[in-house]
Amino acid sequence: MKKTAVLALGGNAIIKAGQKGTISEQFANTQDSLDGIVELIRQGYRLSITHGNGPQVGNLLRQQETGEKEGLASLPLGVLNAATEGTMGYMIEQSLQNKLREQGIDKQVITIVSQVVVDKNDPSLKDPSKFVGSTYYSAEEAQELKESLGWALKEDSGKGWRRVVPSPLPIEIIAASTINELVHKGQIVIAVGGGGIPVYRRENGHLEGLDAVIDKDFASALLALNIQADLFVILTGVDKVALNYGKPDAQDLDTMTVAEAQKYYNEGHFPAGSMGPKIRAAIDFISRGGSEVLITSLPRIVEAFAGKTGTRIVR
């Protein structure tokens, strides 16, 4: 029986640390990241691919603010989410189509720019927490940016201060039924990129945009539930989840129950700026009926699917 999986790519896989994020760099990184995914398609997995957009949407937001100084009309954050869904979806779609063609695999790859409903009164709208942009600042620079530009910034896992924006939880994916139909027909669907475009329902039922960035792991978990995925896969910068990460007594984990994951999260093993949201999304997926989550690195995804690496979270 063919299995269905949702693969959540991090935005940092497309813009790597130390890069400027030129389109050439992003295309090259995208092309380099897809070999393992092509192999899973060859093995018969039905896939939906999601992606983060933290570095990309933060850079676009900064471009808008720079352009305002020259009298150019700027685009709000919600619209910039739509822009990154288009640009990044295009890069992934074209790169994957080309690789599939090279391998003689006849599959369509489709990008769906996805609206995702959130609560307009979500507490995060008043307490920004989502890191965006690819620049880290010193504490002094962060204070200056707060005072001069009104930015919200938070310290990011000891690496420096980084800009943050509101990040409400996803409630409903507007195109979920269409995505489900296409995936189960065997098409590869790129959806809820950057967490999707945050919208809320007005009293008359009409949709209205919000200026925020939904966490891609939470949106991906919701998508995995909506399409009855057998496996929700979170692709990150490490092969396995670890307790005491980065310390001499670090302990890699092969498997966790959802109860163990919650316990380790409560004990502070998974910081908000790195593994924390991924673990919370995994807990959410399984608690709401999902069966299994796999967390691993993109280069080792095929090995992880074969049970040779990665961390699996189960009931």
Residue among 11, 36, 89, 133 flagged as catalytic: 11
Q: How confident is the model at residue 1 (pLDDT cuts 50, 70, 90)?
A: low
For residue range 28-49, what is the model confidence (pLDDT) as tens digits? 988 988 999 999 999 999 999 9
Residue among 36, 52, 81, 130 flagged as catalytic: 130
Domain ranges of the chain: 4-119+169-229
| Cβ-proximal residues to 147 (8 Å cutoff; 6+ apart), any chain | none
Active site residue 278: yes
For residue range 63-88, what is the model confidence (pLDDT) as tens digits? 998 888 889 899 999 999 999 999 99
152, 128 in Cβ contact below 8 A?
yes
Taking 90 as the threshold, does the pLDDT of residue 258 lie above it? yes
Residue among 12, 107, 120, 276 flagged as catalytic: 12
User: Cα–Cα distance between 270 and 245 in angstroms, integer?
Assistant: 8
Q: Which of 25, 93, 48, 80 is nearest to 228 (CA)?
A: 48
Structure tokens at 82: 């739509």
- Cα within 13 Å of Cα(185), Cβ side: 12
**pLDDT at residue number 106:** 92
Taking 80 as the threshold, does the pLDDT of residue 198 lie above it? yes
**pLDDT at residue number 65:** 86
3-class SS at 42? helix
Maximal C-alpha separation, the chain: 58
45, 4 in Cβ contact below 8 A?
yes
Instruction: Please compute the mean of the pLDDT values over residues 144-148 and round it to a whole number.
Output: 91
Residue among 59, 194, 195, 216 flagged as catalytic: 216
Active site residue 226: no
Residue among 58, 193, 240, 278 flagged as catalytic: 278
Q: Which CATH superfamily is domain 4-119+169-229 in?
A: Acetylglutamate kinase-like (3.40.1160.10)
Active site residue 10: no
3-class SS at 212? coil
In 103-249, the DSSP E strands lie at 109-111, 115-117, 130-131, 152-155, 161-165, 172-173, 188-190, 197-201, 207-209, 231-236, 242-243
Greater confidence (116 vs 158) lies with 116
Q: At what angle do helices 54-68 and 77-102 cross, to 10 degrees?
A: 130
DSSP string, 49-78: EEE--HHHHHHHHHHHHHHHTTTPPPPPHH
For residue range 204-227, what is the model confidence (pLDDT) as tens digits? 999 999 999 999 999 999 999 999
Instruction: Please compute the mean of the pLDDT values over residues 227-249 and round it to a whole number.
Output: 94
Q: Beta strand pairing status for 130-131 and 161-165?
A: antiparallel
**pLDDT at residue number 18:** 77
Across the chain, what does the average pLDDT equal?
A: 93
N-to-C CA span, the chain: 22
Active site residue 240: no
Give the DSSP H or E segment for 100: helix 77-102
